[in-house]
Chain A
C-alpha cells in the first residue's frame, strides 16, 4: 500500500481525535488498527467499544487514496493493485460496521440499557448514528408488537419487557486469542469447595482458547487480540 498512500504527504500525519492513545499514526498503522478492531468485533460475543475516530480516519485515508489513484497514468499496472487495496480496505470497514450493526440488532434492549447506565466520562459503546439506529429499532419493534397483538390483549398484559424477552449475549462462549502483552495471574476459575482457584499467566505471542468472560477486559485494553 506504500505508493498510493505516501504520494500525498498530508495523509501520513493523522491525529486520532479525542482518543489520547492514538495521536499520530502512519497510514499502515491505521489500517492495521482497523483490522484489529474488525477481528475483535467479529469474534467477540458482545458489542465492543465503538471506534468512530478510527472509522473517520480510515474514510479520510480512502479519500486520499482515491484522489491519488486519479492522478496515476491510465493503464499503469500499479493502478489496479492500488484499486484492489482500496477495495480491500473498504470491505474491512463495511464488514466491521456490519458486525456491529448485527450485534446491535440482536441485543438491542441490552445495548440501549448499557448505554443508558454508563457513567458520564466513560467511552460510549455506540456512535451517535448507531445509538439513533438502536432506539429506532426498539421503537419499531414495540410498535409492531403493539399494533398486531398487544393492543388486543387484556389491559394488564399490553406490554412486553424487552430486557427480559430478548436474550443477552453469551459471555461464556469460548474465543481464540493471541496475547500481545504478557499478563500474569489471570483468574480462570475461582476457588470453590471442590477446587483450588485456577490461575494462569499469559505469555506474549501465545495463543489460547478461553471463555470470553475471563479475558473481556483484556480485549478492551488491547492486551489480547481475538483471532
Chain B
C-alpha cells in the first residue's frame, strides 16, 4: 500500500518519547522520495494518455496517486519539522553546545540550520540583554550553561 513507509518513519519518531532525538532516518526518507518519484511519473504518463486519447477513466487513478503524493509530502514535512522542534527544545535546555551523542543523531542540514539559527540567537541575546554593559551577567550565565553541560562544577564556598 502506498504511503506506508511515510507512516512508518513518523511512528518511529513518535515512539521515542518527547525530548529524545533518534538517529536521522535517511534511508526511510529516501524510500518515500523514491515512491513519490514513481507515483509522479506514472501520473504524468497517465495524464498525457488521458489528454491525447480522451481516456477519462484514468482520472480517478490520477487523483488517487495525487492524494498519495500529498500525503507523503505532508508526512515527510511533519517528520522533519518534528525533529526540528525536538532539537529546538534540546537547544533551549543545553545552550549553544549540544552533547555529542545528540549531535551524532543529526544530519548535516540540521546542524547547519541549528548553527545559523544559533548564531543569530546569540547575537540577538547579546544585543538585547547585554546592551548596557553587564560584565557580571555574562560570566554567570555562561557558567550556568557550562555547569549544565557538565563542564564546570559549582563550588559552594
Contact = CB atoms under 8 A, between A and B. Distances in A.
Physical interaction between A and B: yes
B88 A149 contact: no
Nearest to B32: A149
B80 A144 contact: yes
B129 to A, nearest CB: 6
Contacts of B21: none
Interface of B is mostly: helix
B10 interface: no
Given A105-B88, A149-B29, A157-B69, A133 B77 contact: no
Contact of A143 (B40, B73, B113, B131): B113
Interface string B21-55: 00000000100010011001000000000000000
Contacts of A122: none
Interface size class, chain B: 20 to 34
Contacts of B69: 154, 157
Interface stretch (A16-24, A35-43, A56-64, A217-225): A56-64
A55 B131 CA distance: 11
B64 interface: no
A119 interface: no
Q: Which 3 A-B pairs have the closest CB atoms?
A: A154-B40, A144-B113, A63-B132
A157 B75 CA distance: 13
B117 A136 contact: yes
B109 A129 contact: no
Contacts of A85: none
B92 A144 contact: no
Nearest to B30: A152
Interface string B113-126: 10011001100100
Interface in A139-170: 140-141, 143-145, 147-149, 152-154, 157, 160, 165
